[in-house]
Structure 1
Amino acid sequence: MAATLFDSTIYRDLILDREFGALFTDSAEVRAMMIVEGALAKAQGTVGVIPEIAAKAIHRASLELQIDPAGLSPETGKNAVVVPALVSSFRTLMQAPEYAQYVHFGATSQDIMDTALALRLRQMLTLTETRLKRVVAGLAALAEEHAETPMAGRTYGQVATPTSFGAMAASWGNPLADLLEQLPAIRSQVLRVSLAGAAGTLSAMGDKGDEVRAELAKGLGLSDPEHSWHAERNGFAAMAAWMTQVITQLAKMGDDLTLLTQSGIGEVRLPAAGGSSTMPQKQNPVMPSMLSALARVAVGLNATLQYAPVHRQQRDGAAWISEWMTLPQLCLATGRALQIGGDLAEGLKPDTESMLGHIDDGTGLIYAEALSFELAKSMPRPDAQAAVKDMCKRVIAGEGTLKELAKAEWTDLNADAIFAPSSQLGLAPQDARTFAARAKALA
């Protein structure tokens, strides 16, 4: 088995999303760093830090030259960062030393790598937004269509009171809609240039450093933080926490679906299921299980990334490298979870007959709370609760259904209205439709 399943050729169709995966490869990293080096030279040429003719040559070369990532390995193994090897190869391949001497002028490795990461995170967050909207829209469609489709609500794994499948879809979707609304703030914290030089002072560029940084930000379409953030990693910690919440909220849906599809329940049908190597009858809830598995891994990755702000002094190699080892995997987990979540949201089908069957198993006990509140209209609430609780014990003992015993005890009781799922849904239909309307506004 590969060290990480994201890199496995065996498990890639299970765990890897190809679009997200393409953003976190050696080739993608090298290409992004080349773009940053070219944009930096162009910005420096514009404000007069380096000769404009050299800037144009470097910028053109950054778009044309091809650097093999494997060739950067030996030097990176010594330096811990890839930029020295990249710059060396860049200068050699330019075959114009009079211009190449200005490549990477006044910058430091972290400037290039962090800015290149921001370029890839911009694409990643765009994909994330698109997919998150797809999940929310899919759940909204379910909520609207099944706002009044009754099903048993369960607490502690036990049947409680009736709810609707639409309300359950809304309970999956509302937290995701919250996270969608938070996405602009996450973008603002990570989609920014880094240009601060060796120790955060940008002294090598004299009095034009801030102009270069602003021009670089403009050229790359990123924001200008107007200060050094080498050791300020709160943005990545915030993004990691946000992605983890996305995955764990999807896992909540996944765990619920695993329970709803289990033998003896069967209240929903999945768009796809997995088989067993030995049991022909099995229809395993692979997609929901993947959401749960990804969440467990994401929480661990996030724990490491929450330590990222502990970045010693002006720059810290250990803290920085720990980000490289965890952030890409968390991004890939987010992409795969959202893909699965979208497929489930668009492909789920409730089994309404099974849902109705589990609301009332013939005993009517799910209506015990409703009965107690109806009785409380004509007697003290504690007395009503005690009476219904005693009657539930009689039902469990086999003396009859709750409806039968109630009608016999209270002959003027409107039992048909109490013992009907449609009359006991409470705010469930409203909650489902409110979420559906909210989701349309976010589309």
Structure 2
Amino acid sequence: MNLTDGLFSDTELAEIMGPKAQLSAMLAVEASLAQVQARMGLIPLDAANAIADTANSLTPAPFDLLAATAKAGIAAQALVGALKSACGDNGQWAHFGATSQDIQDTGLVLQLRDALVILESRLMALEITLGQKAHEFSDAAIPARTRFQIAAPTTLGAKIAVWRAPLRRGLERLEQLRPRLLNVSFYGAAGTGAALAPKMPDVRAGVAADLDLGSPMVPWHAARDGIVELGGWLALLTGSLGKIGTDLILLGQSEISEVSAGSGGGSSTMPQKSNPVMAEALVTLARLNAGAVGTLHQAMVHAQERDGSALAIEWQILPDMVIRTGAALRLAQNLAETLKPKAMNIDASFAQDKGAMLAEAAGFYLTRFMSREEALKIVASALKNMNDGRVKNLSSALEELAPDHDWPRILAPENNLGDAVRQAKS
């Protein structure tokens, strides 16, 4: 436990990806395996029932398996030993024809399936909330900024639409990756299924049907692309949420303060401050997962039919990535629900800009009446006069250089939003 877990961790996901859930998932696989093998006549029915009953009721303390796991290098082997011991004489039929990685990988898949249900639910809720906010503020003009400089008018709704779009794609990606990820592993010691040949594919299919998983013919003991694809999805998602966090930090900083979201955190010594703690956490979580997914890719460099050094990378990296993603979605939902513009400050930003962000619009407007080169010269002169303080804003400067046009109306931010409103409502 860390003191920062309330911010960077997630209780619900931590429980699903934790050691107790891991042991429970592996025991569920052993119970299913025994019952499927009994139905196929491979082990005695009485033994299978006893193994299943024991597996379903066994609750070993993770701490008690630490030494055995350290010795074996894989938790499943330590658990199988405990299961066989608890089954007495029937223990000889437990884990029949399996290898430890079969059990550990299938158990992991069961954990991930449960975790993805929660992540998907939170992602869908966030996507809906952002959609509502985008519609609500679809025509709320706000300065757009490129490379930290004011660029042109947009709307807050259009900004939110940009945040929302990757989340929609994330839901599509999740649906696509599930069949590649949620598969049983039951291939035996070297992946050939020789111990139960020629029945191994039938046993594997039976366990898969029992656990509602896929049943590929080729082993994935040493082919970890499905796991790494999930890691990529997690990093993409937290990265998208990190972009939201970054924008909220910038939009909420003292000199801008055009948007507020979240309750903020106080300073221990400066009472005027309201620190963007949750938005900052989104950025932190995104960066942590970005680094972690690079490390997770190392697990794909998997030697021969099994490589403990590669598998250990997954065991150390993946659970935290899942938990961080849950935390990021939880924080993002809070920020999205409380998001609102500060209209007076937005108006002040427009006023302080003096219309300079409409220079592009002025240039394109003037090309209706003259060459592009002439139009750009007029706009450049107008900007110089404005910046020199000769006139108060770009509209006034253009009135002098190109009269007989309704420049205040032409350069009004709300009249230069392009497709922003439609983007926000899409």
Report the TM range for the smaller structure's normalisation. over 0.9
More displaced, 423-432 or 217-226?
217-226
Distance in 1 of aligned mates of 2:243 and 2:39: 52
Distance in 1 of aligned mates of 2:140 and 2:247: 17
Shift of 1:362: 6.0
1:67 is aligned to 2:63: no
Distance in 1 of aligned mates of 2:154 and 2:380: 22
Per the alignment, in what secondary structure is the counterpart of residue 184 of structure 1?
helix
Aligned residue number for residue 83 of structure 1: 76
Shift of 1:281: 0.8
Gapped runs of 5+ residues in structure 1? Answer: 1-6, 435-443
Q: Deviations over 1:258-297 (max 9, x none)?
A: 0000001111112210111111111000011001111111
1:105 is aligned to 2:96: yes
Does the 8 Å CA contact 2:261/2:336 hold for their aligned counterparts?
Answer: no
Distance in 1 of aligned mates of 2:396 and 2:242: 41
1:161 is aligned to 2:152: yes
Q: Deviations over 1:76-106 (max 9, x none)?
A: 1111112222122112222x31x22101011
Aligned residue number for residue 329 of structure 1: 320
Distance in 2 of aligned mates of 1:362 and 1:43: 72
1:412 is aligned to 2:404: yes
Aligned residue number for residue 427 of structure 1: 419
Aligned residue number for residue 232 of structure 1: 223
Q: Deviations over 1:29-86 (max 9, x none)?
A: 1111111111111111111211122112111111112212111111211111122221
Aligned residue number for residue 119 of structure 1: 110
Shift of 1:360: 3.0
Aligned residue number for residue 37 of structure 1: 30
Distance in 1 of aligned mates of 2:39 and 2:350: 71
Distance in 2 of aligned mates of 1:61 and 1:20: 27
Distance in 2 of aligned mates of 1:15 and 1:156: 29
Change (3 A) 1:162 1:196: same
Does the 8 Å CA contact 2:31/2:56 hold for their aligned counterparts?
Answer: yes
Distance in 2 of aligned mates of 1:322 and 1:135: 31
1:340 is aligned to 2:339: no
More displaced, 409-418 or 287-296?
409-418
Identity among equivalent positions (%) equals: 38
Distance in 1 of aligned mates of 2:335 and 2:177: 26
Aligned residue number for residue 395 of structure 2: 403
Change (3 A) 1:362 1:56: closer
Q: Deviations over 1:368-426 (max 9, x none)?
A: 11111111111111221122012111111111121112112222112132121111111
Q: TM-score, normalised by structure 2?
A: 0.98
Does the 8 Å CA contact 2:249/2:279 hold for their aligned counterparts?
Answer: yes
Does the 8 Å CA contact 1:200/1:230 hold for their aligned counterparts?
Answer: yes
When the two chains are superposed, the root-mean-square deviation of aligned CA atoms in Å is 1.1
Aligned residue number for residue 375 of structure 2: 384
1:250 is aligned to 2:241: yes
Shift of 1:353: 2.1
Shift of 1:161: 0.7
Does the 8 Å CA contact 1:258/1:285 hold for their aligned counterparts?
Answer: yes
Distance in 2 of aligned mates of 1:356 and 1:261: 15
Per the alignment, in what secondary structure is the counterpart of residue 298 of structure 2?
coil
Gapped runs of 5+ residues in structure 2? Answer: none
1:356 is aligned to 2:374: no
Find 1:28's aligned residue among 6, 21, 24: 21
Distance in 1 of aligned mates of 2:206 and 2:153: 60
Distance in 1 of aligned mates of 2:304 and 2:262: 52
What amino acid does structure 1 have at the position aligned with 2:227?
Answer: F
Per the alignment, in what secondary structure is the counterpart of residue 152 of structure 1?
strand
Q: TM-score, normalised by structure 1?
A: 0.94
Distance in 2 of aligned mates of 1:333 and 1:85: 28
Does the 8 Å CA contact 2:378/2:401 hold for their aligned counterparts?
Answer: no
Distance in 1 of aligned mates of 2:403 and 2:374: 18
Aligned residue number for residue 295 of structure 2: 304
Does the 8 Å CA contact 1:49/1:208 hold for their aligned counterparts?
Answer: no
Shift of 1:108: 0.4
Per the alignment, in what secondary structure is the counterpart of residue 338 of structure 1?
helix
Does the 8 Å CA contact 1:150/1:356 hold for their aligned counterparts?
Answer: no
